[in-house]
Structure 1
Amino acid sequence: MAGYIDIVCNIFTPEAVTNGWTGLDDNFKAQVRMPPEMWDGLPIDDYLRKMDRAGIERSLLIAVRAGDLNVKHSWEIPYEAIAKICRAHPDRFSGLAGIDQTRGMQGLRDLTQAVEEYGFVGAHWYPHWFGSPPDCAQIYPYYAKCCELDIPIMMQVGQNLVYSKERRLPSVARPILLDQVAIDFPDLPIIGIHIGVPWTDEMIAMCWKHANIYTAGDAYAPKHWPKQFVRYADSYGSHKVLFGTDFPVIDPERAVAEVAELGLRPASHARMMRDNALAVFTKLPR
């Protein structure tokens, strides 16, 4: 199967919901119009059927680390939980190692283990869960470790919503803040996910300026993507835009169908939906 690659996917199984591994409350589920029958989670086998219907070959699952665990309402998904799913379905899922930069050297050792022992293909960081901008000093050792491990790092840029009323988070990661990071780490592939909304033009500018900065069309339904983002993906930025859903925020079947309706050139569509992911995530199976 040589289908699409979803680079931003969260587990939303009944186990994940029960264990508090989603960070989403019922208000957010209603806000993103999640079908009520999904609120308690979707088993992996059912999600695989969604992937099949959408034509998605592989999804990258995030072992999320959402905030300093010493702070109330922070949470994480154990690396081993994601590794277990990837081992059970090696041809369909790969792992992304969530970063908690407050863990210091232990966090660096965890990241190394995730890549070298669990076979994870990249790193993932949520700046807003830590109130830390992308150019903060505390995250720099993790950028260096990603370079050493030869993996990309993705992070949410732009605004963040109120995922849970128990913990309101600031929007600390405007895309322009990737500028200094890319200057300091020119060999590190950096993916600014979530389109950079509402600063999409900044996201495009950073991708244009720096060879090592990319973006992803995820977390927003493709039919609502900003016009300049669609144009960029279909023209001079066709090699810089990757496909993602941020499931369960966006259903994969909907996302694939709506991308098809954007009218992208065939070459641009192929790059977004598969080729760019293979170019950036060099540890993915060929």
Structure 2
Amino acid sequence: MSSRPSPGDSRSGMPIDILGHLYTPEAMKAHFRDNDEEQGVFDSLGRSANLQGFTPEQFMSYADRVGVGRVHIASFASWSYRQQHPYLTVTADEVHEVIRRTPGYAYGLFGINPHTALKGVRELERAVRELGFVGAHVHPHGFDLGPEHAFYFPFYAKCVELDVPLVVSMGHTLDFMPIENGRPVRLDRVALYFPDLKIVCTHTGWPWVEEAIALASKHPNVFLGTTAYAPRYWKPEMVHFINSWGQDKVVWGTDFPLLTHEEVLPQLDALGLREAPRRKLLWENAEKLFRYDRVRA
């Protein structure tokens, strides 16, 4: 990685979305609209209109208009629990092509498939060292392997070696997958075994929000992400944690296109957050957690 300033330096001090999906019209069609399970989720929520997508150039204009600085795009790896086949599969190279066309706006998270074993670990290393990805992502529900399962551990060790955070989709899932794998407490042993692994427990941990807060409070290496839940629905305990003693342990995100930035950013105003905790939530904590300075210009 180059030590030169990142092309995203000019977007410092703007909200950072720590988890989203590949947003191109082609990706929205292939991975959501043509996927019966995913289309069903968006239909049930009345959010199918969010699946139209943007070209990279359109997304940069959109980000400027709504005031978003950087977005993380996961090279998603998931598994259909009911059908037992790969599901919502987005490659690192697909993500990198969009990142290449939107310098400073988009950054990659490598999607971990625990069944790829050491071949997958090598792909994680390539994504970080050669493609400039800033972290890894795990969606444990469909694999029916909780994040503490041994199959993930080689990936975690590689994240420590590469000094990149692990972003974990936790809590409830609207997909037809076992939600027990998303209980935040299942990250406790991971954090104990890997004290140098920076872990982001996403989706507020709902419905186990207090469990997620307890983990972020206990472990210096565990952070809590607000992805997939609009601020108007955050539990009071979550808002209090952000606004007080947990202000250094939280990062913001949308799980785009589930939520849109123009929808949720104005909702923050109604929460009554103090200015310092608001800045930390939206970008300051993420800028410390993710190493944007190592990304090639």
SS at match of 1:129: coil
More displaced 10-residue stretch of structure 1: 19-28 or 117-126: 19-28
Structure 2 runs not aligned, ≥5 long: 1-10
2:85 to 72, 97, 120: 72
Residues 32 and 38 of structure 2 are in contact (CA less than 8 Å); yes or no, is this contact kept in structure 1? Answer: no
Alignment partner, residue 277 of structure 1: 286
1:75 & 1:269 partners in 2: Cα distance? 33
Separation in structure 2 between the aligned mates of residue 41 and residue 231 of structure 1, nearest angstrom: 34
Identity of aligned residues (%): 33
Residue of structure 1 in register with 2:61 after alignment: 49
1:21 and 1:28 map into 2 onto residues whose CA distance is 9
Query: What residue identity is the alignment partner of 1:207?
Result: A
Measure, in 2, the Cα distance between the counterparts of 1:212 and 1:10. 25
Q: 2:16 is paired with a residue of what secondary structure? A: strand
Query: What secondary structure sits across from 1:56 in the alignment?
Result: coil
Amino acid at match of 2:224: T
Deviation at 1:137, TM superposition (A): 1.0
Q: Which moved more, 1:149-158 or 1:9-18?
A: 9-18
Q: Residue 170 of structure 1 aligns with which residue?
A: 178
The answer (yes or no) to whether the contact 1:21–1:77 under 8 Å persists in 2 is no
| Aligned residue type for 1:155 | V
- How do 1:68-107 residues align onto structure 2 when only pairs under 5 Å count? 71-107=84-120
Equivalent runs, 1:1-286 vs 2, <5 Å: 1-2=11-12, 3-20=14-31, 25-34=38-47, 36=49, 38-67=50-79, 71-162=84-175, 168-171=176-179, 172-284=181-293
Deviations 1:210-235 (A, max 9, x none): 00000111101111111100100000
Deviation at 1:253?
1.0
Please say if residues 80 and 177 of structure 2, whose CA atoms lie closer than 8 Å, have aligned partners that are also in contact. no
Check 1:20–1:26 CA distance in 2 against 1; reply closer, same or farther (3 A cut).
closer
Amino acid at match of 1:126: H
Cα drift, residue 76 of structure 1: 1.1
Q: Could you say which structure has the greater relative contact order, defined with CA pairs below 8 angstroms and 6 or more residues apart?
A: 2
Q: 1:12, CA displacement in angstroms?
A: 2.8
Structure having the higher helix fraction is 2
Give the aligned residue type for 1:170: P
- Whether contact under 8 Å (1:127, 1:133) holds in the other structure is yes
CA contact 1:63–1:82 (8 Å) conserved in 2 = yes
RMSD of the alignment, in Å? 2.0
Aligned pairs, number? 280
CA contact (8 A) 1:154 1:190 kept: yes
- In structure 1, what is the Cα distance between the partners aligned to 2:53 and 2:99? 18
One-letter identity of the residue aligned with 2:285? N
Structure 1 segments, 4+ long, off by >2 Å, are 17-27, 30-33, 38-50, 67-75, 282-286
> Structure 1: how far apart are the matches of 2:118 and 2:86?
23
CA distance in 2, matches of 1:55, 1:283: 19
In 1, distance between residues paired with 2:261 and 2:274? Answer: 21
Cα distance in structure 2, aligned partners of 1:178 and 1:25: 26
Q: Tell me how far 1:9 sits from its aligned partner.
A: 1.3
State the TM-score, normalized to the length of structure 1: 0.92
Query: Quick check: 2:139–2:169 contact (8 Å CA) kept in 1?
Result: yes
